[in-house]
Amino acid sequence: MNLPVTAPLRRISNRLLPDSVIGRTTLVLVAALLLTALAALAVFDAHRDEVLSSLGGRNAAERVGALVGIAEGTAPHLRHDTMRTQSTPGFRVGWGPSPIVTENEAFGLANFVREVLEKGLEGREILISTRPPPPPPPGSVGPRPGGRGHGMMGPALRISVKLNDGSWLNVLAPFDLGDTMWHPRFVLTLLLSLLLVTVLALLAVRKATRPFATFATAAERLGVDVSAPPMAESGPLEVRTAAHAFNVMQGRIARFVQDRTQMLAAISHDLKTPITRLRLRAEFVDDDEQRARMLNDLEEMETMISATLAFARDNATSEPRTRLDLAALVQGLLDDLTDLGAECSYCGPQSLVIEARPLALKRAFANLADNAVKYGGRAMVTLVEAGDEIHLAIDDDGPGIPEADTERVFAPFVRLEASRSRDTGGTGLGLAVARAAVRAHGGDICLANRPEGGLRVTVVLPR
């Protein structure tokens, strides 16, 4: 029932989240760090206020203790003026017959200040409150709770201490919590710290995820060349274990391909001997028509075996890559076909240098161009650079092939009777050899029928 709601949310979250592992891991680390920092700052801010309040309360209690001694050592008629001289903008002192505290508090900061005062003023009545004061009692002399000064102070400690003669020393001490910690300098320092941590986290995550790119490169290289050198088994334990497993897999694949190729070559080679014996025996057949058919079948079998041996040798041979001019190679092949009477055309750059295996590409393009001439009447070749890729298209004017067979024809020994007659001498390995060579370079071949008629063979090679 929640799918209609969760699906859009999931799509939105996927758009907002970074696409790479590096970005997502860094985002998680930075978000966790930010939440931890904010939580720590909130706890620090709360404890900071508590500590500053306690410190201010202790200082106020010590001053009140000293003021009690001064008040009791001063004649009653001079106390008012003396107490006024002890007042400061942040600490107001007064004396009178009544206390300014009417609701005594026995908890929190008030209780803490009372405990500090009682250590030096044993036996005296002490009233302390942090609540807003009531209107001043009649005849009181001292700080006016609702007066001008108090209105500017804000929250404050109100302390009343009874003197020996029954009068009261009244003190109004505001809470001094200092400046807020969220001032621009603090915020700027916090942001710079987060930026520095983000950069360091990004570098650390990038280093930690580097093996992913190494594995991707090794896998792509394995798809092109099973004989590629193994991965370096270094780094953390998990990376070494994965690299070792990858190298074992690559070795098994290489051995499998080698064994298959050797088996195919061995079978093809061994078949030549009985074919030769059959050819000799066919010569003794009296019926000329039957003898001709048998010899034709044996010749076809020998041609297929020779092509199979060549195909096996091509797979087994690891030709080194060199710099070659692809445009010159293609034009040279077309010139050779033209000299043999074929109709060919070329459209593309006059020079295009790449790194490739010359013999493999030459054999592949020769097979493709020869097929276009044999089965399509002519070969029209177009060579184009497309960013990091090279596209080569070979068009012909033949009947094309059924859409269902555009992949099947790449299988070895597959020939389509409608357009690939045995009379042409084909063995059905041309396209298989061409695709194997192109894929060994990291590219691919595909077939498609042209809207105006004919077949288009498209070869894509990495730049």
Mean pLDDT of the region 108-124: 80
Strand pairing class (322-325; 353-356) = antiparallel
Residue 330, pLDDT score: 93
Same domain, yes or no, for 417 and 296? no
Same domain, yes or no, for 202 and 147? no
The Cα–Cα gap between 261 and 302 comes to 19
The string of DSSP letters for 48-83 reads HHHHHHHHHHHHHHHHHHHHHHHHHTS-HHHHHHHH
Could you identify the residue written with the tokens 């894929």? 439
Of 193-202, 326-335, 419-428, the one with minimum mean pLDDT is 419-428
Same domain, yes or no, for 443 and 353? yes
Q: Is the pLDDT of residue 63 over 70?
A: yes
Q: Is the pLDDT of residue 372 over 60?
A: yes
CATH number at residue 240: 1.10.287.130
Q: Hey, CA dihedral for 442, 448, 451, 456, is it positive or negative? A: positive
Q: Is the pLDDT of residue 5 over 60?
A: no
342: buried, middle or exposed (CB in 10 Å: 19+, 13-18, 0-12)? middle
- How does pLDDT run across 221-232, given as a tens digit for each residue? 777 667 778 888
Same domain, yes or no, for 184 and 311? yes
41: buried, middle or exposed (CB in 10 Å: 19+, 13-18, 0-12)? middle
In a domain, 376, yes or no: yes
Same domain, yes or no, for 339 and 439? yes
Helix ranges restricted to H, 73-169: 76-85, 108-120, 148-153
Residue 47, pLDDT score: 65
Spatial contact of 254 and 227, defined as CB atoms under 8 Å apart: yes
Q: Is the pLDDT of residue 424 over 60?
A: no
Of 46-55, 93-102, 155-164, 281-290, the one with minimum mean pLDDT is 46-55
Same domain, yes or no, for 161 and 77? yes
Domain boundary among 174, 203, 236: 174
In a domain, 157, yes or no: yes
In a domain, 367, yes or no: yes
For residue 220, what are the domain limits? 180-318
Q: Residue 241 corresponds to which tokens in the numbers above?
A: 């274990």
Domain boundary among 318, 334, 365: 318
In a domain, 393, yes or no: yes
Mean pLDDT of the region 17-35: 76
Domain boundary among 291, 318, 345: 318
Same domain, yes or no, for 289 and 261? yes
Model confidence band, residue 4 (pLDDT cutoffs 50, 70, 90): low
Q: Is the pLDDT of residue 409 over 60?
A: yes
Number of domains in the chain: 3
In a domain, 371, yes or no: yes
Residue 229, pLDDT score: 82
Of 7-16, 56-65, 161-170, 281-290, the one with minimum mean pLDDT is 7-16
- How does pLDDT run across 451-462, given as a tens digit for each residue? 888 899 999 998
Residue 311, pLDDT score: 66
Same domain, yes or no, for 196 and 275? yes
Burial 377-404, CB ≥16 within 10 A → b, else e: ebbbbbbeeeeeebebbbbbbbebbeee
Model confidence band, residue 352 (pLDDT cutoffs 50, 70, 90): very high
Residue 318, pLDDT score: 61
Q: What angle, rounded to 10 degrees, do the helices at 358-376 and 430-440 form?
A: 140
What is the percent of the chain where pLDDT is above 70?
80
Mean pLDDT of the region 12-19: 65
Same domain, yes or no, for 284 and 395? no
Same domain, yes or no, for 312 and 324? no
The string of DSSP letters for 284-338 reads T-S-HHHHHHHHHHHHHHHHHHHHHHHHHHHHH--PPPEEEEHHHHHHHHHHHHH
Model confidence band, residue 153 (pLDDT cutoffs 50, 70, 90): very low
Q: Which residues have a Cβ under 8 Å from the Cβ of 314 and sit 6 or more positions away?
A: 360, 363, 433, 436, 437
Same domain, yes or no, for 333 and 267? no
CATH number at residue 451: 3.30.565.10
Tally: H helices and E strands in the chain:
11, 11
Mean pLDDT of the region 402-427: 68
Q: Hey, CA dihedral for 99, 101, 103, 107, is it positive or negative? A: negative
Same domain, yes or no, for 291 and 417? no
